[in-house]
Amino acid sequence: MPEIHQLIGKVHETGASLYQKDFFHTWHKTPQELELVLQVAETLKLLYLYNVSTRCFDSGLAVSQFRDNSTRTRFSFAFAANLLGLTVQDMDEQKSQIAHGETVRETANMISFLTEIIGIRDDMYLGSGHTYMKEVGEALDDGFRNGVLPQRPGIVNLQCDIDHPTQSMADLLHLINVFGSKEALKGKKIAMTWAYSPSYGKPLSVPQGIIGLMTRYGMDVTLAYPEGYGLIPEVMQVAGENATRSGGSFNVVNSMEEAFKDADIVYPKSWAPFHVMQQRTEMLRNRDSEGLKELEKACLENNARFRNWECTREKMNLTRKGKALYMHCLPADISSVSCKNGEVAADVFEQYRIDTYKEAGFKPYIIAAMMFTNRFGDPAGVLDQLVERGLHRVRR
């Protein structure tokens, strides 16, 4: 299997280590650390296709804590854990003592006696998701330092209020496979644009994840949204700084058509305005149900002013040679299919439907790579051992 040995060699060549390092935001990782995750993900994917078992744990838990609904990320986490030999335990807060006031410090320790990885999704409360993940991390540090825990579990951000690193890294790996290499992405234009949705509270973390990561690879990143639909200012600043360092560009426009013009990749995705998410978070904390109803009504009325922010055939024709790659984290709001008016026209989505499924298919391996690199100080060495062991994943 020369391909596998070549990939393992690339893992070693990164010279990077993510051993016992939580994965919160991509922009806090070095280029070498990001490359390590990409190469390990590619290696695990190839081993899976070659029917080689990658179970490197005989016991241990991977705890998932989803504080928001999920399909792709939830099942990707379960796939990743199972691929490495870990048992998934879903943390249902309604069935735990959290509902009775148990503290984060206590909960984090009680779920971690046999736990290797904790995956957390907490994206709905602006200013809270990432803060909660750090609080869990500090509680784990305390438990391990005081001999309560035999190991300090790693944390993987499965989406917070600021970033969605498993999504953006999966998107990056998809682009690398579509265009042939990481180097081939330099100079490519990606349009990360707001799109109309009949709902109002979609998180900011997907567009922020895209602009925060793709600007590191010399891409020409254009962010487009109607007036008033801006993202967290600090993340936009990060994107601009990344673009300067990588030789790419980061531009903000208020026209979907302008963003699509000569684009190589388009990513039309709805999100709530930054200031609306701030208001919504405060109302949720105060359990202000009447205020939330009024906010939703006002936001939906405002959204309706921008129904023309839809990815249509006419807009796709504005892209480079009319053949830009369409991307979406899914599920997309598909006009005349999942809703009357939405983010993307039915014919456009159908043309790229299989591509979006392939895009989603990289996420299990990205999550597995984040787990793997967190738990092993010599990931290339462990991968070599798995190949040499030669166990079949499925005995045929």
Give the DSSP letter string of 125-175.
STTTHHHHHHHHHHHHHHHHHTTS-SS--EEEEEEESS--HHHHHHHHHHH
Amino acid occupying residue 6: Q
Cα–Cα distance measured from residue 306 to residue 154, given in angstroms and rounded to the nearest whole number: 42
**Same structural domain, 40 and 159:** yes
Token pair 């290499």 is found at 181
- As a whole number of angstroms, the distance between CA 60 and CA 375 comes to 12
For tokens 């205020």, the residue is: 291
Task: Answer whether residue 227 is part of any domain.
Answer: yes
> How many CB atoms are closer than 10 A to CB 167?
26
**52, 33: one domain:** yes
Shared domain for 42 and 187, answered yes or no, is no
Do 102 and 178 reside in the same domain of the chain? Answer: no
In three-state secondary structure terms, 53 is coil
Alpha carbons 258 and 264: distance in angstroms, whole number: 13
Q: Which domain holds residue 382?
A: 2-163+363-389
- The answer to the question of residue 264 being in a domain is yes
Of the candidates 20, 27, 274, the one whose C-alpha atom is nearest the C-alpha of residue 161 is 274
DSSP at 344: B
Is 394 within a domain?
no
Q: Is 7 helix (H, G, I), strand (E, B) or coil?
A: helix
Q: Is residue 223 part of a domain?
A: yes
Burial of 101 (0-12, 13-18, 19+ CB in 10 A): exposed
Biggest CA–CA distance in the chain, Å, is 63
User: Helix H segments across the chain?
Assistant: 2-13, 31-49, 72-84, 104-110, 129-145, 165-179, 205-214, 233-246, 256-260, 274-285, 289-303, 313-316, 346-360, 363-375, 379-389
Return per-residue pLDDT of the chain as tens, 396 residues.
Answer: 789 999 999 999 999 999 999 999 999 999 999 999 999 999 999 999 999 999 999 999 999 999 888 999 999 999 999 999 999 999 877 766 665 567 889 999 999 999 999 999 999 888 889 999 999 999 999 999 999 999 999 999 999 999 999 999 999 999 999 999 999 999 999 999 999 999 887 999 999 999 999 999 999 999 999 999 999 999 999 999 999 999 999 999 999 999 999 999 999 999 999 888 888 888 888 889 999 899 999 999 999 999 999 999 999 999 999 999 999 999 999 999 999 999 999 999 999 999 999 999 999 999 999 999 999 999 999 999 999 999 999 987
User: Does 356 lie in the same domain as 227?
Assistant: yes
Does residue 194 share a domain with residue 118? no
Q: Are residues 225 and 314 in the same domain?
A: yes
**356 and 367 inside one domain:** no
Structural domain includes residue 396: no
Tell me if 140 sits within 8 A of 177, measured CB to CB: no
> CA 35 from chain center: how many Å?
16
**Same domain? 152 vs 177:** no
Domain presence at residue 395 = no
The answer to whether residues 306 and 380 belong to one domain is: no
Q: Is residue 253 part of a domain?
A: yes
Question: What is the C-alpha to C-alpha distance for residues 312 and 44, in angstroms, rounded to an integer?
Answer: 37
pTM: 0.96
Domain CATH code at residue 49:
3.40.50.1370
3-class DSSP assignment, residue 236: helix
User: Are 157 and 178 within one domain?
Assistant: no
Is 104 domain-assigned?
Answer: yes
Query: Is the domain of 135 the same as that of 40?
Result: yes
| Domains in the chain, number | 2
